[in-house]
Structure 1
Amino acid sequence: MNIIISAAKTGGHVFPAIEVAKEFASKECNIFFIGTGSKIEKNALEGLSFNYIPLKIDGFRGKSPLNKILSLKDTVFNIFKVYFIIKRNNIKCIITFGGFITVPVGLAGWLARTKVFTHEQNSVMGSANKLLSKFATINFLAFPITGNIKRSLISGNPIRTSFNINKAQEKDRDTNKIRIYITGGSQGAKYFNETFPKSFEDVEDLVQIKHQCGNGNFNEVQNLYSKTNIDFSVSEFYKDPSLEIEWADFVISRSGALTISEVSSLSKGMLMIPLPISIDNHQYLNAKHILDIKMGVIHEEADGIDKLNEKLKKIISQKTYLNWQKQTNSSHKNATKFILNNILKEYGAI
């Protein structure tokens, strides 16, 4: 069976899409991956024998009237381009994972009378998925979403394969200290890099820290930690973050959908600091899900550094993270196969 899988630009969209694509490829399906040509897409697809088709397009939100007109032109052009890809290659199934590129892909599928499936990674449905959900055969949801989403199934988030493998991680581990992995995401986070080297003043001897700071920030963050007595290591990027999460007692991070899914799948709790400018406040709503299953706490940047430090000291002094580790969140580990099996059922293949 020939399948189109579409996702764009961010790891939160692209990584789950690739996990599902690999699962279908293992069933001898031929994958056409439609994205936007971004660096993260190219890096993630490296070594995979998919048919990669990058298309030029930008979203509508936050754009000037002129740019919205240009985006509309690109959308119409790409609808017809994808329509001919569908017909020429006898595409039987389209699966979209968010990002504006999925709008022309999904609409082309609708015009071609090809079954379309969506997957929403966040706790609030994005604009592209909201549109496509109206005619999708199944809308897969990572988390329960308020509102009436027809033909929906809760699937969890497809997580990277490395997060499905339990690893004994004793390297660089001081068992007498509380181990904390701090990550601002693949690009790092200015707030994290400036704040956390100064946030452990009264507990420096109690903690061991690994801090992922993002490209170009190593020297600045290294220098800040060097002024403390903290046992620390700083890296711009960790190739396999599952190792750092396994190593840690708990994680400090933003609350992007993929991050919270991967961390909680390893039964590690989180101090979550939602990105204040996330669209539709989706990072706060993601974090609320982790709070509700008792696997973390939330700190909003607007609450100030003093409250952040209070929360940190409480987690460390009361060893709150031990209670977080007792919880399980296995839905994401099973998400890829859940999506595969439910789509194959639609074609009578199961």
Structure 2
Amino acid sequence: MTKLTQPDISTANDAPLAGQVIAVTSGGTGGHMFPAVALSKALVRRGAKVLFFTDARAARYTDGVDGVQTIILPAGGIAGKGLKGRLMGAARLGLGTLKARSMIKKAKPAVVIGFGGYASIPATMSAKWLGIPFAIHEQNAVLGRANRLVARAAKRIATSFPTVTLIDPNDQNKVIWTGSPVRAEVAALANSTYDVPTEDGPIKLLITGGSQGARVLSEILPTALVNLPEGIRTRLVVTQQARDEDINAVRKTYDGSGIDVTLASFIDDIPERLRDCHLVIARSGASTVAELTAAGRPGLLVPLPHAIDDHQRFNAQQVEDAGGAWLMPQDRFSSETVTDRLAKLLRNPAALTRAAKAAKTAGRANAAERLADMVLDMLGLNPAGTPDAENISKKDQGDTQ
């Protein structure tokens, strides 16, 4: 796939965006908001004032972020809803678009950057109609529906993965692989060393599922781990996320197994757990995969089967193809098959080490700064002499690593 050459990471200490207003817009879920907020902070560090357009769910993500003014828009989803829900969602999007268009016309941002989700449509569509250059960032390995609506008019399409499905072939010359920004504590793990499990030392597992995906992991994994051979089972140190209503049943399954287990409905020290773990077992949403690849940790990934456009399977497939994870479809995710798979993996530290190294190749470090450099490039403020996208020669295209 032909891609734009990624601008060099800027190391300038000045404020190249001083006096510039940049608009950022995102849907209100964490998968959209985390990278959008990370870019906003990077832009503020470079001197910009950021207008952040989102919906009411997301105010907590931007609350108190210096240099960022949050504008709440009416917005609603359409996909997967009945006729009444689609009509209500469309009406809210219409109201949100009127508000966004009015505010963008008044503020005159130099650039608009959209991160997908239905709440991003009002600002990106307004930019299109007002002739303001805009770019989109896609967190998944499938171009999301909101981003698809505006991709043709976008000046840049930034991606989290080297390959993203459903991007029109005519738009491939606008694609730039930036990676997906992660929180600073996780980004710092890019320089950490994978601690290979020793022959008789502890084996640390991190199990996360999120609100939608934790139930099946809670139903299958405790039994699968308890049924491991004793020589593996008694070395396990497990941190597992489980829904509040499932925790007692999960704890009962682990009781008496000899497994050192910590259960929580929310794990508030993920960066530390990720740093220390030997294997992650998780769904393959955008945020999970971004953190897994940023830290360089091997994963056993179980895609949510009903995710829109099956994007979790595509996410997991990209990491598996890079050698950084093993994809296990939910219809094959039984306690017996998981026990068998884990017994083989946990007896093979060399395979885990190879996967840890390979996981980093599926993501990109410094993604927030790469995105900020893309904004500079769009404005002609090219860091380190990076050429404008329109002038990149064919010999410079293709290899973005």
Task: Mark yes or no: TM-score above 0.5.
Answer: yes
Is the Cα contact below 8 Å between 1:186 and 1:237 reproduced in 2?
no
Question: Which stretch has the larger CA shift, 5-14 or 311-320?
Answer: 311-320
8 Å Cα contact 1:33/1:53 also seen in 2: yes
User: Which position in structure 2 is the counterpart of 1:184?
Assistant: 209
Structure 1 residue 240 and structure 2 residue 230: aligned? no
The secondary structure found in structure 2 opposite 1:275 is: coil
**Contact between 1:216 and 1:236, CA under 8 Å: does it hold in 2?**
no
Match of 2:370 in 1: 338
Give the Cα–Cα distance (whole angstroms) in 2 for the partners of residues 263 and 195 of structure 1: 22
- The aligned residue for residue 218 of structure 2 is 193
Counterparts of 1:255 and 1:83, CA distance in 2: 35
Alignment partner of 1:324 is 2:343: no
Equivalent residue of 1:62, what SS?
A: coil
- Which range moved further: 78-87 or 211-220? 211-220
1:297 to 326, 331, 339: 326
Q: CA separation in 1, counterparts of 2:164 and 2:101?
A: 31
The aligned amino acid for 1:76 is G
Partner amino acid, structure 1, of 2:228: D
Which secondary structure does the structure 1 equivalent of 2:153 belong to?
Answer: coil
Percent of matched pairs sharing the same residue: 24
Letter in 1 for 2:266: F
- Separation in structure 2 between the aligned mates of residue 224 and residue 44 of structure 1, nearest angstrom: 36
Matches for 1:91-240 after TM superposition, within 5 Å: 91-143=109-161, 144-146=163-165, 147=167, 148=169, 149-150=171-172, 151-166=174-189, 176-185=201-210, 189-200=214-225, 201-203=227-229, 204-215=233-244, 217-240=246-269
How far residue 341 of structure 1 moved from its aligned partner, in angstroms, is 0.8
Q: Distance in 1 between matches of 2:269 and 2:325?
A: 22
Root-mean-square deviation (Å): 2.2
Q: Report the CA distance between 1:187 and its aligned residue.
A: 6.3
Output one character per residue of 1:301-343: Cα deviation in whole Å (capped at 9) or x when no partner. Answer: 1114122222111111223312212335264322211111121
In structure 1, stretches of 5+ residues that fail to align are none
| 2: CA distance, partners of 1:235 / 1:67 | 34
- Is the CA contact 2:141–2:160 (under 8 Å) kept in the aligned structure 1? yes
| TM-score normalised according to structure 2 size | 0.81
Partners in 1 of 2:98 and 2:326 — Cα distance?
47
Cα distance, 1:4–1:175 mapped onto 2, change above 3 Å: farther
Aligned-partner Cα distance in 1 for 2:245–2:145: 33
Whose RCO is larger (CA < 8 A, sep 6+)? 2
Mapped to 1, the partners of 2:333 and 2:368 lie a distance apart of 39
The alignment partner of 1:197 has SS state of helix
Letter in 1 for 2:105: K
Change (3 A) 1:174 1:240: farther
Task: Find out whether 1:42 has 2:59 as its counterpart.
Answer: yes
Residue 113 of structure 2 aligns to a residue whose secondary structure is strand
Q: Residue by residue, what CA displacement relative to the aligned partner does 1:26-73 show, whole Å, maximum 9, x if unpaired?
A: 1121111111111xx233223313211222221221122232222222
- Is residue 221–residue 338 contact of structure 2 (8 Å, CA) maintained in 1? no
- Counterpart of 1:189 in 2: which secondary structure? helix
Q: For 1:166-197, what per-residue CA distance to the aligned partner results, in whole angstroms no more than 9, with x for missing partners?
A: 46999xx9971211111112666101112211
AA at the equivalent of 1:53: I
Distance (Å, rounded) in 1 between the aligned partners of 2:269 and 2:365: 17
Superposition deviation, residue 75 in structure 1: 2.1
Out of 57, 74, 82, the position equivalent to 1:56 is 74
Instruction: Sort the Cα spacing of 1:117 and 1:282 in 2 relative to 1 into closer, same or farther, 3 A.
Output: same
Instruction: Return the offset for 1:289.
Output: 0.7
Note the C-alpha offset of 1:156.
Answer: 1.1
Report the Cα distance in structure 2 between the residues aligned to 1:260 and 1:29, rounded to whole angstroms.
Answer: 29
Q: Which amino acid in structure 2 is aligned with residue 92 of structure 1?
A: A
Contact 2:76 2:119 in 1 (8 A): yes
Match in the other structure for 2:100: 82
* Gap change, CA 1:104 and 1:157, over 3 Å in 2: same
Please name the residue that 1:5 is paired with: 24
CA distance in 1, matches of 2:357, 2:132: 44
Identify the structure with the greater helix proportion. Answer: 2
Aligned counterpart for 1:258 among listed residues 287, 291, 294: 287
* Contact 1:31–1:51, Cα closer than 8 Å, also in 2: yes
Which consecutive residues of structure 2, in runs of 5 or more, have no partner in the other structure?
Answer: 1-19, 383-401
Say which SS state the counterpart of residue 148 (structure 2) adopts. Answer: helix
Is the contact made by 1:35 and 1:101 (CA closer than 8 Å) also made in structure 2? yes
d(CA) in 1 for partners of 2:109, 2:243 = 39
Cα offsets for 1:104-141 (capped at 9, x unmatched): 21111111211111000111101110111110111101
Letter in 2 for 1:266: A
In the alignment, is the contact (CA less than 8 A) between 2:194 and 2:356 conserved in 1?
A: no
